[in-house]
Structure 1
Amino acid sequence: MPDPHLAEADRFDPARTARALEDALRRFARPDRLAALLRSARTDPRLLGLSEVRPWGNRMVLHEDPASGTRLRLQHWAGGDQDPHGRPHNHRWAFASTILHGSYVHRLYGDVADVERRLAADGGPARHLVERTESVGSSYVLHPQAVHSATAAAGTVSLLLRGPSVGEYAVRLNRDLTAFAERKSGVASEARKERPERPFGTADADSLGALLSSLGLLD
């Protein structure tokens, strides 16, 4: 059933979309709702096809609302040096996120244009403007032009609700943080070596469900 909050998501109205995502995520994160979504998604071919097995963790899509262009994603972070989220980047969409277990160090750098201006002025490396630790119960919303990075503790579990795409690609800084050297347009545009290791299946979904149950996150 469509979530009434997601009907408010509008790619041309970032503030309205942010409110819709935040309100909907609060409902999705309830233990009873989360358990129902996991049960439904574990055998849904489309949602499993949108989910990913990555070296730095698994991402399972629990819900998709084609009318609004939103997706709810459960993320299990393995941590480690292979995680590209540790390098500053933005996204093609606004999103709301909350931590269900564990934590990560979250750095905010400003908008893409702001970061580019500072790099042009001083040559870099880019420096964050805010650093904070997102822990259990933390939640936040970022708009598509916001540049951030996240370095997760191994085993962290988060829930992310993304809005409709507003651009063709997102950008990521190079390793020395002096320039936006990468454009990212989703899995379909990734080079073969960058793509998920293997298809995400029901066994992966069940593994995530067992983990959440052991952590007391499901009803």
Structure 2
Amino acid sequence: MISEIEKYSVGWTDLAEASTRNAELLKELALDKQSLRKLAIGAWENPTLRDMCEQTRQLSRIVLHDALDRGFRLRLHLWNDFETGYPHNHRWSFSTRLLSGGYHHTLYESPSGFDSPSRNDADGVELITRYRTLESAGGGYTLHHDTVHRTETTVDTVSLLIRGPVEKRRALTADPGTGKFRFSLGRTMETPPEVAARRMSSAQFEAMFARLEKLGIL
């Protein structure tokens, strides 16, 4: 399985084709616990991948493989229990597969234009719920980077994710509490303290690894 990942490449122009191919790879990897375990250990032993591993308010993530020159980066996510996200989009398209747990997933339409280049706050942004479902273990989906969505996790939610290259300068998150947007511009636009605050520590990695073992993921 690892040799397949090392040769894998994907284009995102045809999102349907990317979705099909990514879903097949994620399904195979999810069933190959030995390879998944080796990738996780290898990521922590690789200085470049280790530097990309992060723990945030929403989740802990290990970057298992980085090959943006071939169109993808592979990540393993352990979500915080009962985490409710805000409506947001991404700077890149992605495919994901849930390995355990699940989350309520809401997709939105924004007639007023969620990601207008001149928009700096959420005032006047209209979000209409287009689709809502419960994503559960064994399921998955692919989202275009312009899609606005929100997740509400259940207990022990773990997912694999294949993300594509950056397609735009910023991603936006609407905060209903403040009526403002939070901007995600990527590491290159962040200060060293901001990056360091999210960087995963050895203790955090060990705790995540142990929990994934207990859940039977690794």
Do both share a fold (TM > 0.5)?
yes
Deviation at 1:187, TM superposition (A): 3.2
TM-score normalised to the size of structure 2? Answer: 0.79
Deviation at 1:5, TM superposition (A): 7.5
Deviation at 1:32, TM superposition (A): 2.6
* 1:38 alignment counterpart: 40
- For 1:22-67, what per-residue CA distance to the aligned partner results, in whole angstroms no more than 9, with x for missing partners? 2322232222321221121121111110111223331111111142
Distance 1:161 1:171 in 2: 20
Deviation at 1:190, TM superposition (A): 4.1
CA contact (8 A) 1:5 1:24 kept: no
* 1:116 alignment counterpart: 113
Secondary structure at the aligned position of 2:45 is classed as: coil
* 1:142 alignment counterpart: 143
When the two structures are aligned, how many residues end up with a matched partner?
A: 206
* AA partner of residue 14 (structure 1): L
- For 1:153-172, what per-residue CA distance to the aligned partner results, in whole angstroms no more than 9, with x for missing partners? 24321111111222222222
**Alignment identity in percent?**
30
Q: CA RMSD in A?
A: 2.8
* 1:10 alignment counterpart: 11
Distance 1:17 1:47 in 2: 24
5+ unaligned residues in a row in structure 1: which ranges? 118-122
Classify 1:196/1:18 alpha carbon distance in 2 versus 1 (closer, same or farther; 3 Å). farther
* 1:120 alignment counterpart: none
Distance 1:5 1:140 in 2: 23
* 2:86 alignment counterpart: 87
Distance 1:184 1:33 in 2: 32
Distance 2:211 2:125 in 1: 41
5+ unaligned residues in a row in structure 2: which ranges? 115-123
* 1:210 alignment counterpart: 210
CA contact (8 A) 2:88 2:172 kept: yes
Superposition pairs of residues 163-202 of structure 1, within 5 angstroms: 163-175=164-176, 181-190=181-190, 195=195, 197-202=197-202
Secondary structure at the aligned position of 2:128 is classed as: coil
TM-score normalised to the size of structure 1? Answer: 0.79
CA contact (8 A) 2:113 2:125 kept: no
CA contact (8 A) 2:23 2:97 kept: no
- For 1:70-118, what per-residue CA distance to the aligned partner results, in whole angstroms no more than 9, with x for missing partners? 11111111245xx6x71111111111111112111110013x6x4628x
* AA partner of residue 157 (structure 1): V
* AA partner of residue 156 (structure 1): T
- For 1:125-165, what per-residue CA distance to the aligned partner results, in whole angstroms no more than 9, with x for missing partners? 52311111111112111111111111112432111111122
Distance 1:3 1:59 in 2: 18
* 2:121 alignment counterpart: none
Distance 2:112 2:217 in 1: 38
Distance 1:154 1:38 in 2: 22
Deviation at 1:15, TM superposition (A): 3.5
Secondary structure at the aligned position of 1:155 is classed as: coil
Distance 1:102 1:215 in 2: 10
* 1:65 alignment counterpart: 67
